[in-house]
Amino acid sequence: MEHKIDRNNFMMQLATFVVNKRNAFVVLFAIACIYCLTTLNRAKVNTELTDYLPDTTETRQGLDIMDQEFTTFGSAKILVTNITYENALKEARALEEIKGISSVSFYDWDDKDGAYEDDDISDYYKDACALYSLTFEEEEDTELSQKAIANVREQLKEYQTYFYTTVDKDDNAALKEDMKGILAVAAAIILLVLLFTSGTYMEIVIFMMTFIVAIVLNTGTNFWFGEISFVTNAVAAVLQLALSIDYAIILFHRFMEEHETKETIEAVTVALSKAIPEISSSSLTTVSGMIALMLMQFGIGMDLGRVLTKAIVFSLITVFFLMPAMIVMSSKWIEKTVHKSFVPSIRIWGQLVVATRYLVLPVFVAVMIGGCILSSRCEYVYDHGSIEADKMNEYMTSKVRIEKTFEVTNTMAVVVPKGDYQKEARIIEGLEQVDRVDTVLGLSNIEVDDNGKYILVNELTPREFAEVADVDLDLVRILYRFYAIDKEQYGAFMKNLDEYRIPIIDMVDFIYDQKEKGAIDLDDDLSEDVDDLHEALSNARQQLEGENYSRIVFTMTGPVEGEETFQIIDQIRNIANTYYDEVYVVGDSTSDYDLSKSFRTDNVKISVLTALFVGIILLFTFQSAGLPIMLVLTIQSSIWINFSIPPLKGSTMFFLSYLIVSAIQMGATIDYAIVITSRYMDLRKKMTDKKQVVIEALNQAFPTVATSGTILTCAGFAVGRLTSNAIIASLGKALGAGTLVSIILVMTALPQILLVFDWLIDRTEFNRGAVKGKEEAAKGAGKAAEIAGEKKAEGKAEGEEDEAEICGKTAEKSREASEAKEEPARAVKLPEKSQKEITTAGRGR
């Protein structure tokens, strides 16, 4: 039977509909959850940050060209420790025999005349450590490459090894494993915090069920976007839980307040009607931070912002439409599991805050200015290899260990239009002269003889080709003649054929094609040589020459990023631009270079837009021009202080951590400031002593700030400590530290700002006249009560004991009659003591 409430406002009508149709909503949520459980893994997870670079960047365009035109074979660097050179050489030869391994780079002494030189071998063997550089026959994600790396591990299992490779590196799988532990720790933290701040054990169960449903709905619909980044996939669930926990808390404690005087159905309805606008306005500040993220040039902002915005929407829907039904169904258990609230009164802290306002505020201003200056000097890094997690994965552990003994080079590429080998050769010559460029490889510098006299793209006469290939000259002349006919270059017959020049690379292709067609007949040895040479040439072409572009691969020593590295990239680009108008320099260093340039724009955009969006929302929320400035300045100060920590420690900050955390910190932790300010504004209308207003506002807001703030802080630090992915770990640490700083500031500096600048609040309120009249009326009533109390005290002092005694007896009789009248009603309500405890906890929210 539907329970009807006679209310005319829209929120009450909506709440009545939701509560009356609660069973239908439970069924709908059950169906939605079942569907989303089947689609949890349908979203493709992208592990490449470079895919989120703007399309206008050189790196993004170059990577797209390379993906379309070139094949990049898998590679690996493997360090083996505590091994003799002889055994290391033996293992190198064994690795070359593994199917799927194209080559193994190691110093082979047996191929040298006489004793080896220490300088030569030191790049491969040093301090009883051997370093192998492996190249695979196929791309890293093929079945052959996967089997090959597995066989390599099996071959070297007797030694202590360090594998620095992405061939069998699965970031997504590793993150999933990490997140299981992180979610378990986060759940334990949430349970402890809620247990501490709750008034009934059943509310914890309701909260957890609400969160689980919201997370399942959000995660199961991520496939709507096609793919999401590994960053979003890793942190979305934890952030959703931490950012939206307030919504459930607000609704439940509204219910507990209404349940003091109303039956369950009516209490839930009224509570929902009051909670919808309150929760919705609270969520807007968080959403504004996500919208600012979505406006970043770097696509990871759009990816994370839209998923978290969807997460907040699903959290709101779950709280508004499912949680009321859960409360009604659990009403008996709510009453049975009432317990004493463990949240202490912090009025002493409020008194300390009030007493120290003229001491703390100047310190706050100084710290704010210092934080602003120091945070502007924070050194940002853009390469994920430049940051380390507390929990190191195999990839980073191997990189660090290899760098202790050997230098790990950085592989990059120059992509230019195809067709002119002479220009490519001049670019290669220029690259070889650049400081910190170690090796350069292109079709225009691949040697085809032991003496290095000829390279693959040299144009040779028949005699020169016969010398290089060690083939009979008459046979070569016939092949040259066939080539000229096939290419319709009849001018070769008009001149001396011995002067006709053909590039080696083209001649090898032609001979192989003619052999395969059966047009020419070669002896077995020559045929095998042609096959081997053509296979090597095909591999080189797959990597270095495409349909429209050529690629020159080079390695660099030294740091992957930094001003010096970026200057060298500009130098390399200028060398290539001398010969081509269209040039792409691609690699980790150029990716970091592009990220650093987009960061400068995104940094300002995120900071300004987040503060602007939040400020506008606060402007309409408080109907004051002064309060938004106070609140935004408080949280912005916490952001500056948070990102001044790395300069003080002499460390660096990953750029993505700053962009994401600054938006989340402003959008989410501003809620703590709103809670305190809202309490302050309500109480100042009823109380005359502003100091007592601050003390009481802090005491009432503390449970909410403590609950939400503790969960977000602990969740951030848990992510930072428990994941092996350095990017995710950096995000978690920055978020945990930023939330903690925000809590400290809103519980100290903000109340003092409100108290000291209360006059500014008065002068900047939009409806100042109406508000002032209400405040004066409230204060007048309070003053009248004070006067009445004083007169009563004076009357007692003058000997009016008889009148007081009569009044006391009358009051006592009235109280006894009232209790007798209310006794039947108490039988259907909570015990008085428990009800008071819940009421106190509820009002504290």
pLDDT score for 54: 87
Indicate if the pLDDT at residue 777 is higher than 60: no
pLDDT score for 352: 95
Q: What is the percent of the chain where pLDDT is above 90?
A: 39
pLDDT score for 835: 43
- Joined tokens for residue 783: 């003053």
Q: Distance between CA atoms of 166 and 145, rounded to whole angstroms?
A: 11
Residue type, 334: I
* Confidence band for 818, pLDDT divided at 50, 70 and 90: very low
The string of pLDDT tens digits covering residues 599-622 is: 888 888 888 888 898 889 888 888
Indicate if the pLDDT at residue 292 is higher than 80: yes
* Confidence band for 134, pLDDT divided at 50, 70 and 90: very high
The string of pLDDT tens digits covering residues 530-543 is: 887 788 788 888 88
Indicate if the pLDDT at residue 110 is higher than 70: no
More confident residue, 236 or 825: 236
Q: Name which of 77, 76, 80, 75 is nearest 125 in CA terms.
A: 80
Q: What is the DSSP string of 58-108?
A: HHHHHHHHHHHH---EEEEEEEEES--HHHHHHHHHHHHTSTTEEEEE---
Indicate if the pLDDT at residue 778 is higher than 60: no
Indicate if the pLDDT at residue 437 is higher than 50: yes
Q: Name which of 674, 649, 672 is nearest 739 in CA terms.
A: 672
Q: Distance between CA atoms of 433 and 583, rounded to whole angstroms?
A: 19
pLDDT score for 780: 53
Helix, coil or strand: residue 102: strand
The secondary structure of residue 433, as a DSSP letter, is: T
* Confidence band for 775, pLDDT divided at 50, 70 and 90: low
pLDDT score for 801: 46
Strands (E), 621-774: 653-654
Q: Distance between CA atoms of 675 and 680, rounded to whole angstroms?
A: 9
Average pLDDT rounded to a whole number, residues 479-503: 81
The answer to whether residues 369 and 362 touch, using CB atoms and an 8 Å cutoff, is: no
Measured CA distances, 309 to 28, 293, 316, 704 (Å): 22, 10, 11, 22
pLDDT score for 715: 85
Indicate if the pLDDT at residue 548 is higher than 90: yes
pLDDT score for 7: 56
The string of pLDDT tens digits covering residues 341-381 is: 788 889 999 999 999 999 999 999 999 999 999 999 999 99
The string of pLDDT tens digits covering residues 214-259 is: 999 999 999 999 999 988 888 888 788 777 888 888 899 889 888 8
pLDDT score for 142: 92
E strand or H helix at 722: helix 690-722
